[in-house]
Chains A and B, each alone.
Chain A
């Protein structure tokens, strides 16, 4: 006879909920959200906007063109884009990982704005920022594309 230790109750509960889910759905289980084309395209578009901005910033550090005051609208624009992306991602069931990733990149965007308000003295500061934002958007896209599940 199968013994159930106290520590094994949680996995059992998960399996039971899966079984109930299967009975109700009559189809394959889903532990994570399905692929969403809008999240894919919007993330790619925001990455392009941010990378374009950082390349120009990298080139113009030390000139008036790099001043924060010249780029306030862009910070607001990207913030709106990220907010819209989060709303879309939040509406998809079992999408909490992607939503958390969007929260993190939004936080990074706010911190970039704080850095910019203080001012950049050297181009060397921009290189790791470009890498970080590219890596961040890559992570959202990597997971989103994997959600296609070989389709």
Chain B
């Protein structure tokens, strides 16, 4: 039975958004594109298996590779978020550097 990649993608995006709640906006752009690819791969795997072109073991290996890639995309999002937080903290510390260093009597910041 063929599956609708677009429908599968929308369902995965909605499930991920519900699961991640507050964190979803920060990874939305990354995740939506990657879930679309994941859905396309799933649809292809289903079709190739139905056509007898791949075995069950091959289907699982293809899915494992796709899952690794999806995880890598989300890890990049996590790393980029850390860089944003880092930039914000450093900007905040920079504006009070002189005041704090003068008050404490040495270069703390």
Q: Is B68 an interface position by the 8 A CB rule?
A: yes
- Chain A residues within an 8 Å CB radius of B90: 28-29
Q: Which label, helix, strand, loop or mixed, suits the secondary structure of the B interface?
A: helix
A100-B75 in contact given A32-B82, A115-B62, A118-B57 (Cβ < 8 Å): yes
Size category of the B interface is 35 or more
- Encoded as 1 (CB less than 8 Å from any B CB) or 0, chain A from 7 to 43 comes to 0000000000010001100101111100000000000
- Encoded as 1 (CB less than 8 Å from any B CB) or 0, chain A from 94 to 105 comes to 000110110011
Q: How far is the CB of B96 from chain A (nearest CB, A)?
A: 12
Q: Indicate if the CB atoms of B75 and A97 lie closer than 8 Å.
A: yes
Q: How far is the CB of B71 from chain A (nearest CB, A)?
A: 6
Q: Is B50 an interface position by the 8 A CB rule?
A: no
A31-B83 in contact given A118-B55, A118-B57, A135-B72 (Cβ < 8 Å): yes
A118-B76 in contact given A29-B90, A107-B68 (Cβ < 8 Å): no
Q: Indicate if the CB atoms of B85 and A131 lie closer than 8 Å.
A: no
Q: Is B54 an interface position by the 8 A CB rule?
A: yes
Distance in angstroms between the alpha carbons of A132 and B88 in the assembled complex: 33
On chain A, the number of residues with a Cβ less than 8 Å from chain B's Cβ atoms is 39
A128-B41 in contact given A18-B89, A101-B72 (Cβ < 8 Å): yes
Q: Indicate if the CB atoms of B53 and A125 lie closer than 8 Å.
A: yes
Q: Indicate if the CB atoms of B73 and A135 lie closer than 8 Å.
A: yes
B109's nearest neighbour on chain A, judged by CB, is: A22
Q: Is A57 an interface position by the 8 A CB rule?
A: no
A interface residues with partner B (beta carbon < 8 Å): 18, 22-23, 26, 28-32, 97-98, 100-101, 104-105, 107-108, 111-112, 114-115, 118, 121-122, 124-125, 128-129, 131-132, 135-136, 139-140, 142-143, 146-147, 149
Q: Can you show 6 pairs from A to B with CB atoms below 8 A apart? A: A30-B86, A31-B83, A122-B53, A124-B53, A131-B37, A139-B69
